Amino acid sequence: MSPAGASSSGAPRVVLGVAGGIAAYKACLLLRLLTESGHDVTVVPTAAALEFVGAPTWAALSGHPVSTTVWANAEAVPHVRLGREADLVVVAPATADLLARAAHGLADDLLTNTLLTARCPVLLAPAMHTEMWLHPATQANVATLRSRGVVVLDPASGRLTGADSGPGRLPEPEAILVAALSLLRRARRADPVGAGRDGAEGADLAGRRVAVSAGGTREPLDPVRYLGNRSSGRQGFALAATAAARGAKVTLVAANADLPAPAGVEVVPVGTAEELRRAMHEASAGADGVVMAAAVADFRPAAVAENKIKKSDDPDDAPQVRLVRTADVLAELVAARAPGQVVVGFAAETGDAEGDVLTHARAKLARKGCDLLVVNDVSGGAVFGRARNAVTVLTARGDARTVPEGTKEAVSDAVWDEVASLWTPAEHHPAPPVE
């Protein structure tokens, strides 16, 4: 058997399970996304799933034969081999029936056998009607699976089969892909040669609740204009996505970010600094971790014009705008934190005559009183809107960890590693370098 992380072709092995729900057609796009991003994917549909999407479709898109039974190709023992050799198992959609069978350890088809033999991260993306998702039996099954280290994403809310809407919609395939890649990335970091894989590694934040802010606030000047900033929200969204992929219950307070909702994350849209302030106080109540990645305006216009401010013909006639301070949301969250709650701030800094980036960042850390400060050097417009980032994580103890340039998801994993070390200091070991 090849080492974990590679098939005979060198590609990571992914088993894509498909259960029998109407959302099975969306798994076709997830399959295409996985294969196009360099993964060797074997599709294992249930018999019910084949009522929605036929085996020839899965075979054509994956390049592998498709079977739902343990009797096909029996000499290769597929009910054991697939789970043992996989680097990741994803089930999308995971129906209420599939969740129940997985939670109770049933093995009545090839997919449930694969789930029982898998020793890699397992990601389940539920999709079902709202009443089925909210039923106590389903919630108990989800809790059981999560307690075993399985990552079960919360379904999205939206239009379901027919005219109904509510929680139970399959997260978008692109969002499921982000969660899948996060689990694969962590599995490679934890065990780069494939010896002794542990599926629970991916769900190390299971049972934790976290609140994350993202984006940039906008302070209105009149019905048309506002004071804003250049934050895209991509780092905050990546933090939310990776936390959910590691098993956490995540609330994302998103300020003016035009990005797709991360899979399994509750998104609370806001506009102004005051709206973000109220939403973060609510989201942080009872949370184990609070991450303030949003760029919150320091000032707002003292008055908002009821109508659009008109430009006169006089070139020297320009309105004078008086600004007032907004609330210091991070400082308020630090002051209100409960025992054991970890609060993380972000600093977008440039050097000047008074000091370099880290000098200013350390002063901010001391001033705010948070547990960690993630420092971005934004000199020359770096970071904003870009897919890659490099940061320095400062701790209240005075330590500094440099996270080299990588994807914003990789940076997010490094931040959560530091947060997790503060939750369990006795078990903390130095984090491996981020790839």
Nearest by Cα to 76 from 101, 49, 110:
110
- Residues pairing with 221 in the sheet: none
Contact between residue 232 and residue 148 where contact means Cβ atoms under 8 Å apart: no
Q: How far apart are CA 55 and CA 311, in angstroms?
A: 65
- Residues pairing with 346 in the sheet: 374
Nearest by Cα to 188 from 418, 387, 433:
433
Nearest by Cα to 400 from 367, 361, 354:
361
Kindly give, in sequence order, each residue whose CB lies less than 8 Å from that of residue 273, ignoring residues fewer than 6 positions away: 217, 219, 296, 297, 300, 326, 327, 329
What are φ and ψ of residue 404, in 5° steps?
A: -65, 165
Q: How far apart are CA 128 and CA 273, in angstroms?
A: 36
Kindly give, in sequence order, each residue whose CB lies less than 8 Å from that of residue 390, ignoring residues fewer than 6 positions away: 377, 402, 403, 404, 405, 406, 411
Q: How far apart are CA 277 and CA 388, in angstroms?
A: 28
Annotated catalytic residue, options 141, 229, 256, 376:
229
Contact between residue 50 and residue 69 where contact means Cβ atoms under 8 Å apart: no
Is there a catalytic annotation at residue 229? yes
Look at strands 299-301 and 323-325 and give their pairing: antiparallel
3-state secondary structure of 324: strand
Catalytic residues: 229
